[in-house]
Structure 1
Amino acid sequence: MIEALLPPQVVTVHAYDDRPDEAPYPGEEDLVARAVESRRREFVTARRCAREALGRLGHPAAPIRSGPRREPVWPAGVVGSITHCAGYRAAAVARRTELAGLGIDAEPHEALPDGVAGTVTVAGEPGLLARLDRDHPAVHWGRVLFSAKESVYKAWYPLTGRWLGFEDAELSLEPGGGFGARVLVDGTRGDGGPPLTELRGRWLVDRGLIVTAVSVPH
């Protein structure tokens, strides 16, 4: 499902359920040693998806450790992203020579919990969501916005090494399946590339899920 949102040079692998009693990959056990069972299963399956995707790029199977903000640490020369939610786990990877960054996210296609919308929106977005809710009521637009900001952050952090809060990007959501994110803070990158001032992505609703993805070209 996530593959429909990304350019062809991205390798994606997804799963809709877990393998019963699958153990963490050697070298990753400590990352979920204290996790509840549902979280452990999501992690194990998502990491398996990521290893399979890396294998298609020619990388041998190896532990995928986590960085300081729990982001996956990819092999040299690879960009990627992992997501998991109830009923879906996915990974996307690409060669760094082909893309500067990637971010993916999946969420249940449900309304945001009460009170959450006010904490994840900035000026202009509540009005946008109200218009979209009125004109396209079959979509839970608040959750689409939430997921899109998650994908933006996942693409942003490896390139900048800095936090990006929900209040630090203003989104435009397009009913046709696209979105844009205008970054409201300094977008200086650590790799010397052009500052991240705007990112583009795509979204999709299918099988009771929302999936979003951002790819950052060179």
Structure 2
Amino acid sequence: MIGTLLPSPVESSEAFDDLAGQAGAFALFPEEEALIARAVAKRRNEFTTVRACARTALGRLGIAPGPIVPGQRGAPQWPSGVVGSMTHCAGYRAAAVARSTDVTAIGLDAEPNAPLPEGGVRDLVTRPEEHDWLARLQAERPEVSWDRLVFSAKESVYKAWFPLTRLWLDFQDAVIEVDAERRTFSARILTPEPLRTATGGRLSGFEGRWMVADGLIVTAIAVPAAG
């Protein structure tokens, strides 16, 4: 599923069932095991399965398995010369990776296709500039939870943004516009800090793709190294 949203230099892997407890490629490394030694079963299962996905994707790049542990602000620490992203939600785990010579950053997120919780969450996630198109699309296409799609898109934006800048990005620091027909989205970054790729090119935002399937909303960003 996720592979249809990503360009060819990116390798990906996904799972709809947890793989925890299986041997071989799905065993955790000691550094990973130490992170979840006291975790409940649900956390252990999702942690193990998403890393199995990541190792599968890395293997498709010809990279041997190794520990994938969180670094600053929880961002995964990938092998040298690799960029990537992981995501997990109920019933879905996925990872995507690429060589940094091909792709500068990847952002990946999956969410249930359900409205955001009541209690002001929508106002925390969305901006006034987004409310008109959200209302229009919710009336025209109620089968998609558009506010949740904005949440997912901004999660993907942050996952692409942070490895490039090492700066925090709030939900209110990005404006999302969605193309419902092409199933794409754009993100305009509102913070004053310049955003640059590893090769020195400047970005004013991100372009991504989205899909709805099997009760899930999935969003993905891949920034080409040449961009």
Query: Aligning the two structures, in what range does the TM-score lie when normalised by the shorter sequence?
Result: over 0.9
Q: Does 1:132 align with 2:137?
A: yes
Unpaired stretches in structure 2, ≥5 consecutive residues:
none
Q: Does 1:199 align with 2:170?
A: no
Partner of 1:39: 43
How many aligned positions are there? 218
Deviation of 1:102 (Å): 0.4
Partner of 1:50: 54
Question: Is the CA contact (8 Å cut-off) linking 1:79 and 1:101 kept in structure 2?
Answer: yes
- Which deviates the most, 20-29 or 151-160? 20-29
Deviation of 1:131 (Å): 1.1
Q: Structure 2 CA distance, aligned partners of 1:193 and 1:135? A: 41
SS at the partner of 2:202? coil
Deviation of 1:196 (Å): 2.7
Q: Does 1:156 align with 2:132?
A: no
Q: Spell out, residue by residue over 1:147-199, the C-alpha distance to the aligned partner (whole angstroms, 9 max, x if none).
A: 00000110111011111110100000111210000000123337352233120
Partner of 1:181: 187
Unpaired stretches in structure 1, ≥5 consecutive residues:
none
Q: After TM superposition, what 4+ stretches of structure 1 lie above 4 angstroms from structure 2?
A: none
Question: What do you get for the CA RMSD once the two structures are aligned?
Answer: 1.4
* TM-score normalised by structure 2 residue count: 0.92
The counterpart of 2:67, out of the listed 63, 77, 86, is 63
Q: Does 1:141 align with 2:146?
A: yes
Question: Is the CA contact (8 Å cut-off) linking 2:20 and 2:44 kept in structure 1?
Answer: no
* TM-score normalised by structure 1 residue count: 0.95
Q: Sequence identity of aligned pairs in percent?
A: 54
Question: Is the CA contact (8 Å cut-off) linking 1:25 and 1:44 kept in structure 2?
Answer: no
The counterpart of 2:112, out of the listed 102, 108, 115, is 108
Q: Structure 2 CA distance, aligned partners of 1:209 and 1:44? A: 21
- Which deviates the most, 31-40 or 196-205? 31-40
Q: Structure 2 CA distance, aligned partners of 1:89 and 1:101? A: 19
Q: Structure 2 CA distance, aligned partners of 1:66 and 1:20? A: 19
The counterpart of 2:173, out of the listed 168, 172, 191, is 168
Question: Is the CA contact (8 Å cut-off) linking 2:15 and 2:94 kept in structure 1?
Answer: yes
SS at the partner of 1:27? helix
Query: Match of 2:96, as an amino acid?
Result: A
Query: Match of 2:163, as an amino acid?
Result: P
Deviation of 1:44 (Å): 0.5
